[in-house]
Amino acid sequence: MPNSGFFAPKSLSTLREGYSLSRLRADAVAGLTVAIVALPLSMAIAIASHATPAAGLYTAIVGGFIISALGGSRFQIGGPAGAFIVLLASIVDQYGYDGLLLATMMAGVVIFAIGALRLGTYIKYVPHPVTVGFTAGIAVIIFASQIKDLLGLSLPGAEPAALIPKIIALWEARPTLNIEATGIAVLTIALIVILRKLKPHWPGFLIAVVLTAALVFFLKLDVQTIQSKFGGIPRSLPAPGLPAFSWEKFHALIPSALSIALLGSIESLLSAVVADSMTGRRHRSNTELMAQGIANIGSALFGGITATGTIARTATNIRAGGTSPVSGILHSLFVLLFMAVAAPLAGYIPLAALAGILAVVAWNMAEKAEFKSLLTSTRGDAAVLLATFGLTVFRDLTEGIVAGVTMGALLFMHRMAQATEVRTHHHTADSSEDAEADALLADKDIVVHHINGAFFFGAASTVAATLERIGDPPKGFILDMAQVPFVDYSAAHSLHGFLKVAHKHGAVVYLTGAPASVRRDLIKYGIRKPHVHYGHTIADCARAIRHGLEIDAQDE
């Protein structure tokens, strides 16, 4: 079961089913492979989030370890994710780095609560056009945020956060273009693309970073590096500590924390679903969210940024032969080992190379084929996509998601309402009925209404309008609800109005065919005698109307 147990980490399942030396070897190879990918990517994401490269490594180590050790997926790899760059950078700019740490811890508590309350299954109801729209929007913003380092531009002041002012500022700074930095960025992107095509199993990100760092060192190129901007990378984890706290800052950060929690929940469960589709396994969504919550609290305690399940690294883990959460745990330990051994060398990494990596990440995460497909599908899906994309790019990620989900829900309700119909006729030719029933139903004094589809508030007015076209009142009505999967109070209220009108005209109403759950809800909502009777079949109802009988299956 995907959600069995209150808190059931997949690592415990691995131990219970037996863990062999051959599986350990496979997990070690996969963990090393993912660590090689995660090392430059974690630093690049942290820098783009207006944090230090070390913060990205802390996140991969602490957050990644906890997500793998306690999560509900066998294959999930946790760490910093590109989807958070825009949100985290805006928090740092507005509240400082301590504000980001506090918001991350608050979000961790919220994500844990979502899982503990078993609300994780509802995350899947985010419409696909919304996920494609905000992912594409984030990709655009990530790329725009890297233009400065891609071209080695120098700005007189802080880089604007909003897209249009940012583009204007970058355009005005074009005379400061650094040819050497641009060359490093182009070389990085070219190496990654070529290696991905010719040698897809090679660590393209790491190779590109190592080669460009060597070029910068030996040719003494005039480009910014991690050392020149951040003073290098520490060789160990810092001591855990709490960020500065005040109630004023806490209240101010609530919207940001909720945004992190919403995006983190969506991102991590999407990644787990991708892992399921690649392996045939099933994750435990609520356990996964509780682990994500703990991981974010732990990451912030050690000075890291927001951690979540990452689709690219999780897929890399699976392709590299990972068999259990042990590969994710080892990935974190390998990153820690790299940091301890190679921290001095990391100082030579050019920022233009990391910007090139993020440019590739943005291109890959844009889901261009999905975006184009949704644009040419229905007008409703295209509208949801464009609204989410536009608000994400030009306004705010949270506004984009909320608007997209709201529009998606309204679109769904509209489609459901359109799918609900009432077919009305004065007789039936159903061969399953006996001859007497056929004769009775041929009587124009008996009108049969077949209601098909979900009978809810969106369809209530349409159904009620059809039912209330009584004209010359017949002797009786039969409402066939065999094709009604559910009913809500609004629909029952509109049905009650029809029953009152029919009763006023002296027409008896029978209801038949409703599934047991629908019948129970109708009775609970007040659809009962004396305004309506319940019959077993259309034939039974027709006999009762013609002969003045009173049958009622209401209490059965």
Which of 266-275, 312-321, 420-429, 436-445 shows the lowest per-residue confidence on average (mean pLDDT)? 436-445
Helix (H) or strand (E) holding 72, with range, is: none
Confirm if 441 and 433 have CB atoms less than 8 A apart: yes
Is 50 exceeded by the pLDDT of residue 432? no
Q: Which superfamily, per CATH, for 420-547?
A: STAS domain (3.30.750.24)
Is 60 exceeded by the pLDDT of residue 31? yes
Helix (H) or strand (E) holding 478, with range, is: strand 476-483
- Quick: pLDDT tens for 304-321: 999 999 888 898 889 888
Q: Which pLDDT score is estimated for 420?
A: 87
Q: Which pLDDT score is estimated for 439?
A: 56
Identify the residue with better confidence: 547 or 217.
217
Question: What is the 8-class DSSP label of residue 448?
Answer: E
CA–CA distances in Å: residue 136 to residues 49, 82, 303, 373, 546: 18, 12, 29, 13, 64
The CA distance from 187 to 522, in Å, is 68
Q: Distance of alpha carbon 311 from its chain centroid, rounded?
A: 12
Is 90 exceeded by the pLDDT of residue 528? no
Is 50 exceeded by the pLDDT of residue 124? yes
Share of the chain above pLDDT 90, in %: 43
Q: Which pLDDT score is estimated for 447?
A: 86
Structure tokens at 401: 């998601």
Handedness of CA 447, 453, 456, 457 (dihedral sign): negative
Q: Distance of alpha carbon 396 from its chain centroid, rounded?
A: 16
Q: 430 pLDDT band (50/70/90 cuts)?
A: very low
The CA distance from 391 to 229, in Å, is 33
Q: 435 pLDDT band (50/70/90 cuts)?
A: low
Question: What is the 8-class DSSP label of residue 487?
Answer: B
Q: Which residue carries 């309506």 as its tokens?
A: 532
Identify the residue with better confidence: 429 or 553.
553
DSSP letters for 229-267: HH----SSPPPP-PPP--HHHHHHHHHHHHHHHHHHHHH
Q: Which pLDDT score is estimated for 437?
A: 54
Instruction: List, as own/partner pairs, every contact residues 201-209 make where C-beta atoms lie below 8 angstroms and the sequence separation is at least 24, other chains included.
Output: 203/33, 203/36, 203/37, 205/36, 205/37, 205/40, 205/41, 205/357, 206/36, 206/37, 206/39, 206/40, 208/40, 208/353, 208/356, 208/357, 209/40, 209/349, 209/353, 209/354, 209/357
Measured N-to-C along each axis, helices 397-419 and 128-151 cross at an angle, to the nearest 10 degrees, of 160
- Quick: pLDDT tens for 379-395: 999 999 999 999 988 88
Burial of 235 (0-12, 13-18, 19+ CB in 10 A): middle
- Quick: pLDDT tens for 461-489: 888 887 877 666 778 899 999 999 999 99
Alpha helices, DSSP H, located in 347-432: 351-365, 368-375, 379-394, 397-419
Q: What share of the chain is helix, strand, coil (3-state, %, to 5)?
A: 65, 5, 25
Cis link prior to 165 (omega < 30° from 0)? no
Question: What is the 8-class DSSP label of residue 472?
Answer: S
Which of 2-11, 41-50, 233-242, 278-287 shows the lowest per-residue confidence on average (mean pLDDT)? 2-11
Of 442, 403, 436, 428, the closest CA to residue 482 belongs to 428
Share of the chain above pLDDT 70, in %: 92
Is 60 exceeded by the pLDDT of residue 1? no
Task: Name residue 409's amino acid.
Answer: A
Is 90 exceeded by the pLDDT of residue 442? no
Q: Where are the domains of the chain?
A: 21-410, 420-547
What is the arithmetic mean of pLDDT over 297-303?
A: 96
Is 80 exceeded by the pLDDT of residue 161? no
Is 90 exceeded by the pLDDT of residue 426? no
What is the arithmetic mean of pLDDT over 252-258?
A: 94
Q: Which pLDDT score is estimated for 551?
A: 65
Confirm if 165 and 197 have CB atoms less than 8 A apart: no
- Quick: pLDDT tens for 221-242: 999 999 888 888 898 999 999 9
Confirm if 97 and 280 have CB atoms less than 8 A apart: no
Of 187, 213, 184, 156, the closest CA to residue 40 belongs to 213
Give me the chain's average pLDDT, please.
87
Q: Which pLDDT score is estimated for 3?
A: 44
Which of 41-55, 267-281, 438-452 shows the lowest per-residue confidence on average (mean pLDDT)? 438-452
Q: Which pLDDT score is estimated for 261?
A: 93
Within 10 angstroms of residue 266's Cβ, the number of other Cβ atoms is: 20
